[in-house]
Amino acid sequence: MKDKAKWLFMVLLLVALLFGATEGYKILTSRYGALNFQETQDPEEDPEVERFEVPNFTLLDAEEELIEFQDLLGRPMIINFWASWCPFCLEEMPYFETVYQEYGEEIQFMMIDSIDGSRETLAKGKEYLAKFDYTFPVFFDTELDATMAFGIQAYPATFLVDQEGYFVAWINGMTDEKTLRLAVDMLLDK
């Protein structure tokens, strides 16, 4: 009888913990929303803050020509790392397309497909893109130079970079159109 009481107590405790975690998540999400920016500190506000420059890396463009990151500097950037096997990446792409259509002249968009050679290949990335009419600039990280430079461990990952090549902020995980518009405002205000 004591064993049954212990098991019942453990099950009830587990249910209570799961319920509490779920309700806590709902409260925090409703309070703080989906905005998940992680801003770097502004050196103008605090001169002691060190700015972090994006290291140079090489990618293939849509025509499979080599291009270096430093050659794209001059405008603020929104850099998104994605893969065709990632459902969250694919879900957010229409938001990037919408915002790119509005701000593509003012902001350099870089949609970087991380090619690992097995789970993601150049052929798989191009096959996915061929299904849609996306017009944003797509790059292929066939040597994983950019992926390693940014320390990508999960997809999608989005970074905001100023016109000089310094990190401004990043977005953890999947984003939405509202957050991308806030990112544009942040980049254009700098």
* 56-86 confidence digits (pLDDT tens): 999 999 999 999 999 999 999 999 999 999 9
Per-residue model confidence as pLDDT tens digits over 114-139: 999 999 999 999 999 999 989 999 99
pLDDT band at 31 (very low <50, low <70, confident <90, very high): very low
pLDDT of residue 28: 39
Residue 24 has pLDDT above 80, yes or no: no
pLDDT for 177: 95
Q: Which two tokens stand for residue 82?
A: 């994605």
Cα–Cα dist 129/126, whole Å: 5
Kindly list the domain boundaries of the chain, sorted by start residue: 1-33, 37-189
Q: Does domain 37-189 have CATH number 3.30.2130.10?
A: no
% of the chain at pLDDT higher than 70: 78
Residue 21: both structure tokens together: 């975690």
182: exposed, middle or buried (Cβ count in 10 Å: 0-12, 13-18, 19+)? middle
Q: In the structure encoding, which two tokens stand for residue 27, read together?
A: 């409260």
**Which tokens sit at 113?**
């497909």
Distance from C-alpha of 91 to C-alpha of 173, rounded to nearest angstrom: 12
pTM (2 decimals)? Answer: 0.75
User: Which residue, chain included where needed, has tokens 């999960």?
Assistant: 154
